[in-house]
Structure 1
Amino acid sequence: MSGNDVTESFKEHAEMFMMFSSLKLEGGAKMEELPIVNEFP
């Protein structure tokens, strides 16, 4: 992985973490209650 790839990967993970955190704060949902997509090509 190049430096740019690592930076982009961190950005994506940070955005996902912020989304889950905001769902937890706003809706009172727990992480284990959120649906997970597990169909990969």
Structure 2
Amino acid sequence: MSEEKKYTVVGTDVEEVKRLNRNSGLTYNQVKELLAKQIQKKK
């Protein structure tokens, strides 16, 4: 069974975007959580 690629209306490869996002580093919420933990340690 061949896996068919999914594209948005404008032609963006959905799986490629997901792959790039996984490899892009911390998310906004992960950064907020990390900063909050560091601030708590300093108190």
TMscore range, shorter length = 0.3 to 0.5
TM-score by length of 2: 0.36
Structure ranking higher in helix proportion: 1
Choose 1 or 2 for highest CA Rg. Answer: 2
Tell me the TM-score normalised to structure 1 length.
Answer: 0.36
